[in-house]
Structure 1
Amino acid sequence: MKISTKVEYGLVALIDIVANSNNGDVVTVISISERQGISKNYLEQILTPLRQAGLINGTKGAQGGYVITKKPENLKISTILNALDSTLLNVTFDNSMKCDESIIQSIGNNVWNKMDSNINKIADNTTLADLVEEYKNGVASSAMFYI
């Protein structure tokens, strides 16, 4: 399974928006771009499907930016992944191969179907809040204090 940069950067952008929006303030594309090292143009392409899916709202203009539309604890990773890449959570296999059909069926039942189930279970049980919390804990634990 290969996760695209679109999906990775989409998750990064959402975590950045949540972590840097104080009391619902908008977060600019430029600020996300600078903090995360993602080109502004590519970031705008990534944010478009998230906006179209209703996960973020965009405001144009000098004071424009993005804000998340739902509470992070109510936003499942599966919803985000489906907005960014609708095929990602669908494990598929080619059962039309010219091999022994019972072997192919056994592989499908014991490997691919279980992988599909587990991937979807993780994506459905993980929220954006979980990722933001882990990010904030990582930032806090990596901070250096000098006396």
Structure 2
Amino acid sequence: MMNTDADRRNYILLELPSKVEYALLALLELASHPGKTNLLTISEISTRQNIPDRYLEHIFTSLRRGGLVQSLRGSRGGYILAREPWQITVLEVVALVEGDRKQKESDNSIDRALVAEIWQKANHASLEILNRYTLQDLCQRRDALKQEGLMYYI
């Protein structure tokens, strides 16, 4: 039972699924190598981001079908972003990787409707935040954090 404000601050309501985390890390890696000639293989991305190859293959299938990445086969093959990083929202990545989620059917009791209403508000707030951030925003934040790290050691 949570009793203190500190307990509430550390409570995690929404877990970040590994699948979503890996997809975002892989897309960040692709965004770090812009251009149609800088293709990256699943093996390269897997190594750089410490993601299991097989898992990443499944994720890339969803990302390719969803139009976020393009693939080229052959000895010089690999993956590139299909769109600019500023055109890809975090919510879009989550939706592609996690698939459709439908609202649960509930009976018409007032108590259940009240609980569902609060949960819908929390869900709506989450969707708004995830839709507000793009892959470009994540790249810029990462680069800023790297710069802060460099300044820290000087």
TM category, shorter: 0.7 to 0.9
Q: TM-score, normalised by structure 1?
A: 0.82
Q: Distance in 2 between matches of 1:52 and 1:112?
A: 31
Unaligned runs of 5+ in 2: 1-13
C-alpha contact (below 8 Å) 1:56/1:69 kept by paired residues: yes
C-alpha contact (below 8 Å) 1:78/1:120 kept by paired residues: yes
2:126 aligned partner: 119
Unaligned runs of 5+ in 1: none
Q: CA RMSD in A?
A: 2.3
**Offset, 1:144:** 7.0
The alignment partner of 1:66 has SS state of: strand
Question: Do structure 1's residue 105 and structure 2's residue 124 form an aligned pair?
Answer: no
Q: Distance in 1 between matches of 2:46 and 2:57?
A: 10
Q: Distance in 2 between matches of 1:39 and 1:78?
A: 23
2:87 aligned partner: 74
Paired letter, 2:16: I
The alignment partner of 2:22 has SS state of: helix
The alignment partner of 1:108 has SS state of: helix
Which of the numbers 46, 55, 78 marks the counterpart of 1:65? 78
Q: Distance in 1 between matches of 2:62 and 2:112?
A: 36
Q: TM-score, normalised by structure 2?
A: 0.79
1:5 aligned partner: 18
Aligned pair count? 140
Question: Do structure 1's residue 142 and structure 2's residue 140 form an aligned pair?
Answer: no
C-alpha contact (below 8 Å) 1:75/1:128 kept by paired residues: yes
- The CA deviation string for residues 33-73 of structure 1, in whole angstroms up to 9 with x for no partner, is 11111122221111110001111001122211110011111
Q: Distance in 2 between matches of 1:11 and 1:45?
A: 14
Shift >6 Å, 4+ stretches: 144-147
Q: Distance in 2 between matches of 1:2 and 1:93?
A: 19
Question: Do structure 1's residue 95 and structure 2's residue 106 form an aligned pair?
Answer: yes
